[in-house]
Structure 1
C-alpha cells in the first residue's frame, strides 16, 4: 500500500501563542497536513476556557474523521485528555490511566480497521516528573507489546532523545522522526527542543518526517509518512463517519 500520513499534535486546548482559543486554526493545521491518523494531546471537552466545546467531536465532524476521546481529568461537567482522529473506522478503543504523581496521564489505545487488517494506534501525554515518566513508559511498553498488530505510538513525551525513557521506548519501537536533522517542536514560536514523537513497530518503514510553522498551539505538529512492510496490500475503501 502507499504511505499513510500520521500526525502528533499537542493542541493546548486550541490556545495559540496569541492566547486566543480558536479551534478553527487547529482544524486548518490538521487539514493542511493531509494526515490520515492523528493523535492529539491537551484536548478539552465542555470546559469554559474552550467555550464548552467537545473539541474531539467537533474536529472529527469538521474533518470528516472517525474520532475517539479519552478523558484523564474531570473538572466539574468538563473533561481534559487525549484524542484520536482517523480516516479509517475505529474498531476498538480504551483509555488506560497511567501511574501519575501530578496531573493524571493516560494512554488512549485504538484499533483501526484498514481494509481487511487492523493496526493499533496509541496516543499519550507523559508527565512532568522524571520518575513518573519512567513508570508511565513501563506501562506503555507492556501495553504495546501485547499486540501483534502493526503499532504506532504518538504523543507529547515531555523528554528528549537523551533521556532514559526514550531509550526504553526505542528498545521496543523505532523513532520515525530519527532521520530528521535539527528537528524541534517546542515552543512553537521559537522551537528549541523536540519533545513530540512518533514511534512505530518493525512493521513500518518511515518515508519522511516534517513539521510546519504554526502558532495555533504552543507545540508544533509532527507529520510522519509510513509504509507498511511485508504484508498484503490493504483495501482503501473509506467508510464515512456517521
Structure 2
C-alpha cells in the first residue's frame, strides 16, 4: 500500500528545552520521521539568536528536500516565518499575510507535483488572540476553498479542539488527529494541550498519526501517514509516491 508521511513542527527557531539553539537536533528529528512533506513554524533566516542561519535552506540541503520559506516578519535581511520541505518538486509557492492584531501571521501555500497529481500543502501559525484567530481562520478557509487540488494544512493553531476556530476549520477539512482522539503536543516536556494539527481534505485517508518525542523545541512534532484516496485511479500504478 502506497502512503506518504507528513510532519507539522513548530521548531521555535531550533531552541530546545535546554534553551540551546541547535538546528542539527531538529534535522535529526525530521530525518528520523522519514517524512516527505514537512510544515515548519517559527523558522528564522539570518537572525542573531539562531547564529545568522538560513534555517530552511540548511534543513532542505541536509534532508535533501525541495524547500520554500515565507517570512511574516522582517528586520532588514533578517526574517521569521513558516517553511515547507518536500520530497517532490515545489512548482510554485505563495505567501498570504493573515489579518493580525499582534504579531503578523501568515499562510504559506506550496503547490507540489506528486506523481501525476498536484496537491496544495499549506503551513500556518495562528495568533495569540482569539478574535484574530477567528479572522485568520476565515481567511485560511477562503484561500483553501479556491484550490482545486487535494489539500493538507499543517500548523500551530494556538488553540484546542474545543475552540471556535477548530470548529470552523473542521467544517471544511478533517482533523487527521481525530482518528486517534487527539493527543498533547505542548509543552514538549509535559504535553497537556493539543495546539498542533494536520488537517486534510476528503482526498486523503489517515493510516496513522502520532506525536514524536523530542526536546529539540518546546512543541512536539506531529507525524501523519496518509493514503491518497485516488490510489485506484487508472494512472496511479504508473507512479511511485515513496
- Pair in the same fold by TM > 0.5: yes
Compared with structure 1, are the counterparts of its residues 192 and 83 closer, same or farther at alpha carbon in structure 2 (3 Å cutoff)? Answer: same
Deviation at 1:180, TM superposition (A): 2.1
Aligned counterpart, 1:183: 183
Structure 1 vs Structure 2 CA RMSD: 1.2
Describe the SS at the equivalent of 2:146. coil
Match of 2:98 in 1: 98
1:236 aligns with 2:240: yes
Cα shift at 1:188: 0.3
The answer (yes or no) to whether the contact 2:118–2:149 under 8 Å persists in 1 is: yes
C-alpha deviation, 1:181, in angstroms: 4.2
Provide the residue aligned with 1:174 in structure 2: 174
Give the alignment's TM-score, normalised by structure 2: 0.96
Deviation of the 1:179 alpha carbon: 2.2
Q: Deviations over 1:113-139 (max 9, x none)?
A: 011210000000000000000000000
What is the CA–CA distance in structure 1 between the aligned matches of 2:57 and 2:50, rounded to whole Å? 13
Change (3 A) 1:90 1:76: same
Give the 4+ runs in structure 1 shifted more than 6 A.
none
Tell me which residue corresponds to 1:136.
136
Given the two structures, how large is their TM-score scaled by the length of structure 1?
A: 0.96
1:158 partnered with 2:158 = yes
Cα deviation, 1:62-120, whole Å, max 9, x if unaligned, reads 00000000000002320000000000000010100000000000000011101121000
Instruction: Describe how 1:1-242 pairs up with structure 2 within 5 A.
Output: 2-181=2-181, 183-231=183-231, 232=233, 233=236, 235-236=239-240
CA positional deviation for 1:237? 7.4
Aligned residues between the structures: 238
**Are 2:26 and 2:216, in contact at CA under 8 Å, matched by a contact in 1?**
yes
- Change in CA separation of 1:61 and 1:18 when aligned onto 2, cut-off 3 Å: same
Gaps of 5+ in 1: none
CA offset at residue 182 of structure 1?
5.5
Secondary structure in 2 aligned to 1:24? Answer: helix
Q: Deviations over 1:138-163 (max 9, x none)?
A: 00001111012110000000000000
- Greater shift, 173-182 or 9-18, is seen at 173-182
